[in-house]
Chain A
């Protein structure tokens, strides 16, 4: 009823090519942002700390990988390591220059991982497809080895772990043991919204079209005057920037301290799951994927025991854990069979249906 196109006339190209051409969409996105901010004051700290902050962090990392894999078509398995570079760079910067606000360093640390990402993206000009995926594994294992073996990265502390020092913004602690989940959530939310807006502008503009051209057929794109090396490296750099910022947020604003092990290969696969389940080449899909893959196991952990107990089956925590693995695996296959283009496509179909509801077309 409310979701209708009728009466909204486009009078210029700018309005026609807007990201949200419908007024209802614009209102909707505004409401979602307001609701997200309101959640900081309404939600309890468990919800913010254990669900919302990681969801946002993983969404940001998924956006990063989606730029590389979804928009540019370069499969990467080094996401975890690039996140790690961001986290370690942020740690070095904020301990070396404690006077500068930490928000600045979170953004700057992304540039370090962008540089490393571009470096490991160099082979992408010659190597394609799954071959490239394995080449990025070199980045994953090499960088992870660096995190373990170079004590300089953690300022020679004995534990070898990253820890979040106390940092403030406008006098309120946003990092370190004193920061409440509420303030950390607000910081993460603002950064994620800002970077998502930036990514949306990138992928809908000239650069995004270049990436998509490379993805669809790099040879044809090259003939049309798109330089493959620069475009691919830019995709690697931007993608790693997002992953780096996400890594810094993950360690310092979610965990509050971590070891190198956080950035292992499983993290890379985890983010890849989110991107593919959410939908390759879709920013909103990154959020859907992160929500599904991150929140599903949590929900299953709560729901499964409750579902089994009426049948008189009481099972141990380990069995629940195994069942959870099985169900997540089965659901991944199920989703791929039902909708190989990811949740973003389902969302799109849903919106199309809603536009003409109650008629079929």
Chain B
């Protein structure tokens, strides 16, 4: 009885008593949700266009951020470094398409998944070889990212908003908006959607699959760079950052592998659910529930909708 009270009543009473804390938790959840969504977006882009479940997205985030910071530390001006980092991601996309995707075309999904594992290992080794394994500081000042906090009086308490978090949310939203426009309005975007629908049909109307793959991997690389800057600004640039890529997976299955709005909504649900769960229910079981709560939330959603919230309906035929 006592346990039931603690699980079902007490947290809600606490929420009602201290609405400012609730708002604070919600805000933090939303911000991390947006950032999860940003990583999940990279996965979705590649999965949509090539059917590859790109495990290397996490290390691409780290690699992009490391390239940026590494170049800056070598004395390259910040904006030149940013452009160079984008170019590096372009080169990476071309190399991946040439060396990994092209020879493996038409292989089962799991083999391609495995190949991105190989890519992950390679990039870990390569990144550490060039930039060293030590954690680095993200160059927030040089990139004109705001710092500091704003405190607002709200509902009888103070709610703190980190400027960096606000910037992250804004930039992520702009990024997502740009991608949406790119996908629906441009020629290449339409070609991408055609490839996502059917490789064969796309080939038959003259769309080059190889070109499209380079473009999506490049787009995913840019998304990785943005995600890397944002995460890096919050928690430093190091190889442990690739763990957050695993956090993007529940976001991904929650929203469905093929849906960009799904990635965003999924990210917000996971981000908010995780923070609320950790803050209000975590202490009941000794804390640290953040490591698995996201997966359990996703699992519960999946039991009702096996294709995710916005995924294409799975039709099976014999």
Contacts and interface: CB of A to CB of B under 8 A. Distances in A.
A328 B119 CA distance: 10
Interface stretch (A48-56, A104-112, A137-145): A137-145
A127 B303 CA distance: 7
A214 interface: no
A273 B126 CA distance: 20
Contact of B124 (A138, A217, A329): A329
B133 interface: yes
B288 A145 contact: yes
Interface stretch (A34-42, A172-180, A231-239, A332-340): A332-340
Contact of B104 (A269, A329, A336): A336
How big is chain A's contact interface, by range? 35 or more
A133 B250 CA distance: 10
A273 B318 contact: no
A186 interface: no
Contact of B295 (A137, A149, A219, A323): A137
Interface in A276-299: 276-277, 280
Nearest to B102: A337
Interface string B286-318: 101101100110110011001110000010111
A333 B115 contact: yes
Contacts of A337: 100, 103-104, 115
A355 to B, nearest CB: 28
Contacts of A330: 118, 122
A130 interface: yes
B129 A219 contact: no
Contacts of A148: 288
Interface stretch (B2-10, B64-72, B106-114, B170-178): B106-114
A142 B257 CA distance: 23
Given A142-B295, A326-B122, A326-B125, A336 B285 contact: no
A85 B66 CA distance: 37
Interface of B: 53, 99-100, 103-104, 107-111, 113-115, 117-126, 128-129, 133, 246, 249-250, 252-253, 257, 285-286, 288-289, 291-292, 295-296, 298-299, 302-303, 306-308, 314, 316-318
